[in-house]
């Protein structure tokens, strides 16, 4: 189906709810003195939008607004991911000491707008729409990163983010213009048709695709477009860092998959995709190289970090490399593995940032020394949760991160990418060292004389508990989530 503007609105209620919430917040900001209310209104709006999204899940794939926006399970999956991350981020913000310093009204408005942009990154079915979604996310992210008042790190991070982002999006849109020139259209289906007819010069397309990949890779923090991430992670308010680390990564993956799979590849038998833009050039070799470099660079850089947020930034880069393993195999198993990984990464990484926030609230510090003997300083529960999260990030069973890695490993071994598999093995072992260092500092080291007690923020405990339980439960019984991600591979194609 291909709907016009008015007919589309009937299938557009998650976006309408979210946009309505943003407008409501803007008005409330002017009239309400108690800014805490803003958080609860935003939370309620996200929950309603979440319910609306889940209700739409499973509807027949449809194109909305004259082919601009796709409504399919794939887009809905990423909308759910974004909304869950938003809910968690707002919940974290309520208890965060850092967020209390900023203008709360604007903070929540911009945060929700950022999520709103991610909706269009996941569902844009036209290069223009995808680009607009991506830019909306980027602009709001710059603002949120630089929001902490009188904080030089925050300001520096925002500026770095802006400059890198400007370069990356310029590069990307330049690549898109090449594609437009060769395909004659920005619509994904039209691009696909042009590719399958062999329109366009192979080398030209290769260059264009590398440029586009750079723009997407910048959002996902692939090497060598990852330079912004450690500074931004460190400088931004922690709840937003948590949100950025999972949602921005997921949205970058969504836009990337939608472009490189339905738009420029063809789905053949048994879920195998054929990349048809330039059959003669070794596209997968490039992806393998990027994946290996990204995970190795991320892990090696993480080894010596002393700031936990910075360490998690490098670990995030490494995880972007792992996720990319699902991309090289060009089949539905790889796609399922990537989507599955997005969900488990969301859970464990948000959990880790929540603990960072708890410690920062109590001590005002984010460096490793602040975690010394955490388990023996009245924060046994956050410490145990953090241990669960970091070991899940390592990929140890019976935790959810293991299943995510298992699926990715399975995909590449089925595709016989053994070099990549060996690289991933070595990286897993390297990553254990710095993840275990966090656990070591929390449990094995004795607290120093100046290390005061840490009490978990009251609002953080239930979320922390929920994320930890999910990490363990999904590690033992992941069948339903696997079915859900497999079911989310429904694309609108033609």
Partner 1 sequence: MTEHVLSYMVFFPLAGMLVVLILPSGRHDLIRWVSAAATVPPLILGVWLYANFDTTTTGMQFVERAAWIPAFNIEYFIGVDGLSVSMLLLTALLSFLCIFASWGIDKGVKGYFALFLLLDTGMTGVFVALDFVLFYVFWEVMLLPMYFLIGIWGGPRKEYAAIKFFLYTLLGSVLMLVAILALYFYSEPNTFDMTKLMDRSSLYSTTPLAMWPFNVWGWGFQHVVWMALFIGFAIKIPAFPFHTWLPDAHVEAPTAISVILAGILLKMGTYGILRINYPMLPAATADLAFWFLAALGAWNIVYGGLCAMAQTDMKKLVAYSSVSHMGYVMLGMAAFNTQGINGAVLQMFNHGTITAMLFLLVGVIYDRAHHRDINGFGGLAGIMPVYAGFTALAFFASMGLPGLSGFVSEVLVLLGAWPKYHALTIIAALGIVITAGYMLWMMQRVYLGPPNEKYRDLPEINGREIFTLFPLGVIVVVVGVYPRVVLDLLQASLNNINQMVISHLS
**Which residues form the interface with partner 1 (CB under 8 A)?**
391, 394, 396-398, 402, 406, 409-410, 413-414, 421-422, 425, 428-429, 432-433, 436, 439-440, 443-444, 477-479, 482-483, 486
**Least gap, CB of 375 to partner 1 (angstroms):** 8
Pick 163 or 413: Cβ nearer partner 1: 413
**Least gap, CB of 410 to partner 1 (angstroms):** 5
Pick 120 or 434: Cβ nearer partner 1: 434
**Least gap, CB of 473 to partner 1 (angstroms):** 13
**Least gap, CB of 374 to partner 1 (angstroms):** 13
Pick 195 or 390: Cβ nearer partner 1: 390
φ and ψ at 422, to 5 degrees? -65, -40
Pick 121 or 481: Cβ nearer partner 1: 481
SS3 category, 172: helix
* CA separation for the pair 296, 290 (Å, rounded): 10
Pick 146 or 351: Cβ nearer partner 1: 351
Distance of alpha carbon 59 from the chain centroid: 25
Pick 7 or 482: Cβ nearer partner 1: 482
**CB–CB of 294/286 below 8 Å?**
no
**Least gap, CB of 443 to partner 1 (angstroms):** 6
200: left (phi over 0), alpha (psi -120 to 50) or beta: left
Pick 317 or 407: Cβ nearer partner 1: 407
**CB–CB of 75/339 below 8 Å?**
no
At 377, list the tokens.
């300083």
At 389, list the tokens.
């999260």
Pick 174 or 443: Cβ nearer partner 1: 443
At 408, list the tokens.
């990715």
**Least gap, CB of 49 to partner 1 (angstroms):** 30
φ and ψ at 111, to 5 degrees? -60, -45
Q: What angle do CA 284, 290, 291 make, to 5 degrees?
A: 90
**Least gap, CB of 190 to partner 1 (angstroms):** 36
DSSP letters of 290-323? HHHHHHHHHHHHHTT--BHHHHHHHHHHHHHHHH
* CA separation for the pair 426, 431 (Å, rounded): 9
* CA separation for the pair 417, 432 (Å, rounded): 23
At 59, list the tokens.
């509807």
**Least gap, CB of 164 to partner 1 (angstroms):** 33
């Amino acid at each position: 189906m291909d709907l016009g503007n008015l007919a589309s609105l009937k299938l557009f209620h998650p976006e309408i709810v979210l946009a309505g919430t943003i407008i409501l917040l803007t008005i409330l900001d002017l009239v309400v003195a108690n800014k805490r209310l803003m958080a609860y209104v935003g939370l309620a709006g996200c929950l309603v939008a979440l319910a609306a999204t889940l209700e739409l899940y499973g509807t027949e794939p449809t194109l909305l607004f004259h082919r601009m926006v796709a409504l399919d399970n794939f887009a809905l999956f990423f909308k759910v991911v974004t909304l869950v991350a938003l809910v968690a981020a707002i919940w974290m913000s309520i208890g965060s000491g850092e967020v209390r310093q900023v203008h709360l009204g604007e903070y929540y408005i911009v945060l929700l707008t950022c999520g709103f942009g991610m909706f269009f990154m996941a569902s844009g079915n036209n290069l223009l729409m995808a680009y607009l979604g991506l830019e909306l996310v980027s602009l709001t992210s710059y603002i949120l990163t630089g929001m902490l008042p009188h904080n030089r790190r925050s300001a520096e991070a925002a500026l770095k983010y802006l400059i890198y982002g400007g370069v990356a999006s310029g590069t990307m849109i330049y690549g898109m213009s090449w594609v437009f020139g060769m395909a004659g259209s920005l619509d994904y289906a039209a691009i696909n048709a042009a590719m399958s007819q062999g329109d366009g010069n192979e080398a030209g397309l290769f260059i264009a695709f590398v440029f586009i990949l750079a723009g997407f890779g910048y959002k996902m923090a692939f090497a060598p477009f990852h330079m912004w991430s450690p500074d931004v992670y460190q400088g931004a308010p922690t709840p937003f860092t948590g949100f950025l680390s999972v949602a921005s990564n997921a949205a970058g993956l969504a836009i990337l998959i939608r472009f490189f799979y339905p738009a420029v590849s063809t789905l053949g038998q048994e879920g195998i995709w054929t990349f048809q833009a330039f059959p003669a050039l070794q596209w997968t070799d490039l992806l393998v190289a990027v994946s290996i470099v990204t995970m190795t660079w991320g892990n090696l850089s993480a080894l010596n970090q002393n700031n936990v947020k910075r360490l998690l930034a490098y670990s995030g880069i490494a995880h972007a490399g792992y996720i990319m393993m699902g991309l090289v195999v060009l089949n539905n198993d790889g796609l399922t593995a990537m989507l599955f990984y997005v969900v488990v990464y969301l859970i464990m990484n948000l959990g880790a940032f929540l603990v960072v926030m708890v410690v920062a609230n109590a001590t005002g510090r984010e460096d490793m020394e602040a975690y010394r003997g955490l388990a023996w300083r009245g924060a046994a529960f956050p410490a145990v949760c953090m241990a669960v999260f970091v070991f899940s990030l390592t990929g140890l069973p019976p935790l959810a991160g293991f299943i995510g890695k298992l699926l990715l490993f399975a995909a590449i071994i089925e595709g016989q990418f053994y070099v990549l598999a060996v690289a991933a093995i070595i990286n897993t072992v390297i990553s254990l060292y710095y993840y275990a260092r966090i656990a070591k500092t929390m449990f094995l080291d004795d607290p120093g004389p100046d290390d005061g007690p840490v009490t978990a923020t009251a609002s953080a405990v239930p979320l922390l508990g929920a994320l930890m339980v999910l990490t363990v439960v999904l590690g033992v019984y992941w069948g339903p989530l696997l079915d859900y991600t497999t079911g989310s591979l429904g694309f609108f194609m033609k």
